[in-house]
Amino acid sequence: MNPAEEDRSVGSSGSIEAERSPTVSDAIRGRVVVLRAYRNGELEREVGRVPREVGFGHVSLSSEVADEIGLLGRGETTIVDAY
């Protein structure tokens, strides 16, 4: 974590406590929809790891949000979940 993003203080027990300040990446939300993810969401989870690793605040995967047949329905539900 970037030191500029932390607010450090000494707690009552004498330990150093760090509180993370919100950043721009916390507001960035990602959406991942893979065509046949309702059958097996493994590829979607793998693709979803990338935005999480680069710091997206929230990543919605269609296989987790709406595990149903139909790309359009899952995609729309995933977009709504991201907001």
Residue 68: its pLDDT value, please? 84
How many degrees, rounded to 5, is the angle at CA 80 between CA 76 and CA 83?
A: 145
Alpha-carbon distance of 22 to 28, in angstroms, equals: 11
Q: Tens of pLDDT along 18-67?
A: 555 556 656 678 888 888 888 888 999 999 999 888 888 889 999 888 88
DSSP for 34-76, written as a single string: -TTTTT--HHHHHHHHHHHHTT-SEEEEHHHH--SS-HHHHHH
pTM over 0.75: no
